Amino acid sequence: MITIVIPQGIQIYENWEDLSTVLETSSVLLTILLAILKSLVWISNRRKMDPFIRYMLTDYWDLMTTCISEKHADVYTVLPMIEIFVALIKGPNDNSTRHFPFLALYPESYYNFPMYEIIFLSQVVATSLCGLVILGTDTLIATALFHTCGHFKVLQRKIKNIDTEINVQHACITENMQKIKLHVIDIIKYHYTILWFCDYMETVFSPMLFLQTLASSLIICLVGFQVASAGITVNIISKSVKYVSYLIMALFQLLLFCMPGDALIYESSMVYKTVYAIAWYKLPILLKTEIRLLILRSQKPSKITAGKFYVMHLENFTGVRKSCITSCITKCVSKL
């Protein structure tokens, strides 16, 4: 990491007046720093993170009595590597000039054998490790969110089963009241466990989501401004694949959290509607009170936030995307 972070910082400092160099270097540097900061947050919250993952994969999973099988495949395309191979195949105009995969400032001796090969390999390894760190943390958060949405679906199914028992056994409801009462208690405990897990998830993941939202927003601004302000030249066309990959990566990472976050809000808000739709009014007063409290508690949807203030859902993602597209179009029109 040091072999790419420090040289890129020096590159920005030495070429501060060159806007194109600063924007391109900052986009890569932000991605690397994001991976480093996520790792530091993970290490600092290790005491909370390890029990959280262990509980999610054991006890929390065992709560599901209904078999729900879904496969979510996340495909990460490393488009900047295409630009590297294109540059190698095309070859530089000046045979004495050597380029690294990512823009950074090194001493002159580093462009000769064997330092050039070592630095080249270190950049590829460092960026690959960053990708693995980001992939691991992002998929863990998305999996936990989708997993919780599945629990809310199972809870809704259990509530509907109670409605079936009430309607079928209404003629002999007094004899079967104990069975219905046990089901209601089980649902209340299940709902409480899911809400506890959502609060724990918010505490653990909120700092990482804040870093991700901040970094993605900055990358979108930097890359969007760079693409909009650049002229159409051979050099820009060769780098366009890299720019597009940065933009897609930033938008996809936000979408990876906003989509399950939006599903979490929807599924948690559907609980009180499902409870209200059952024939709870046929139950005795004591169970009616419990059902009313369940309806009251489930009216507040669960959500995941970035830094406790930015809610991760599709509406906010659409706003970020529209702002990005609008700023790029405005910049391009102003140049015409």
Domain ranges of the chain: 1-334
| Mean pLDDT computed over 201-226 | 86
Q: How far apart are CA 114 and CA 104, in angstroms?
A: 18
* 238 or 155, higher pLDDT: 155
Residue 30 has pLDDT above 60, yes or no: yes
| pLDDT exceeds 50 at position 244 | yes
pLDDT per residue as tens digits for the range 55-103: 887 777 676 544 333 333 344 444 445 454 544 544 444 444 577 777 7
Contact 191, 302 (CB under 8 A): no
Phi, then psi, of 41 in degrees rounded to 5 = -65, -40
3-state secondary structure of 299: coil
Kindly state the tokens that stand for 270: 């559907």
Instruction: Indicate the pTM of the whole model.
Output: 0.78
Instruction: Give per-residue pLDDT as tens, 287-301.
Output: 888 889 999 998 999
Any alpha helices (H) in the chain, and if so which ranges? 2-14, 19-44, 46-57, 59-62, 80-90, 115-168, 177-229, 234-277, 285-298, 314-335
pLDDT at 236: 59
Cis amide prior to 107 (ω within 30 degrees) = no
d(CA 151, CA 317): 25
Average pLDDT, stretch 94-115? 74
Higher pLDDT: 90 or 44? It is 44
Percent of the chain with pLDDT over 90: 18
